[in-house]
Amino acid sequence: MYTEENLSTLSGPALVEAYNGLKPEKDVKRFSNRDTGIKRILQLQAERAEEVEDLGGEPLPPKVKPNRSKQAPVKPKRPAQASGGTRRKRFDEPYQGFTKPCREGTKRAKIVALLTKGATFHECMEATGWDQRTCYDGIKLVHKDLGYGLTEDEDGIIELLTK
């Protein structure tokens, strides 16, 4: 049996489900407002209770889902990876079978000159005035566009591979 307190905690769709669970003559899709829904459910329940008492049985309360909040499920966090793993190689063998020259006086020429002697990533950044991302892209283009092979040792020194 529903009470007004129980019904006031239900959502609109749950009220419609409760009403239709009482087997009215015609099912409803929605109520105009919450109070109307509660009023009609209590009225229909009272009518059904009189019919059941006439038959000598006890009415079963209809199954109604309570109003649940609609929060997205929380995704579990990925476990932290152990530090000190293997470092991937950024550059390896020459990208093409041949190398192209670069124009003199350009920043790319400065990078090629530095890497010929062996320079760290930060030295390349200081010489060109580039930020970290731009400097990395510049070194990558020396590898891909000009075809130079590059190697990086454990100390972070990047060198051109000479054949």
CB 120 within 8 A of CB 156: yes
CB 87 within 8 A of CB 151: no
pLDDT of residue 100: 79
Q: Where are the domains of the chain?
A: 4-55, 107-161
pLDDT of residue 80: 59
pLDDT of residue 17: 86
Average pLDDT, the chain: 76
Mind listing the pLDDT tens digit of every residue in the chain (163 residues)?
778 888 888 888 888 888 888 777 788 888 888 888 888 888 888 887 776 555 454 554 555 555 566 666 676 766 655 555 555 555 556 656 667 788 888 888 888 888 888 888 888 889 889 898 898 888 888 877 787 788 888 777 888 775 5
pTM for the complete prediction? 0.41
Q: How far apart are CA 113 and CA 160, in angstroms?
A: 9
Residues 6+ apart with CB under 8 A from 49: 1, 59
118-126 CB contacts, 8 Å cutoff, 24+ apart: 118/157, 118/158, 118/159, 119/157, 119/158, 120/155, 120/156, 120/157, 120/158, 121/156, 121/158, 124/158
pLDDT of residue 115: 85
pLDDT of residue 55: 46
Q: Is 148 exposed, middle or buried (0-12, 13-18, 19+ CB in 10 A)?
A: buried
pLDDT tens sequence across 126-147? 988 989 889 888 888 887 778 7
For 74, 136, 143, the CA distances from 80, given in Å and listed in that order, are: 18, 27, 33
- Determine whether domain 107-161 maps to CATH 1.10.10: yes
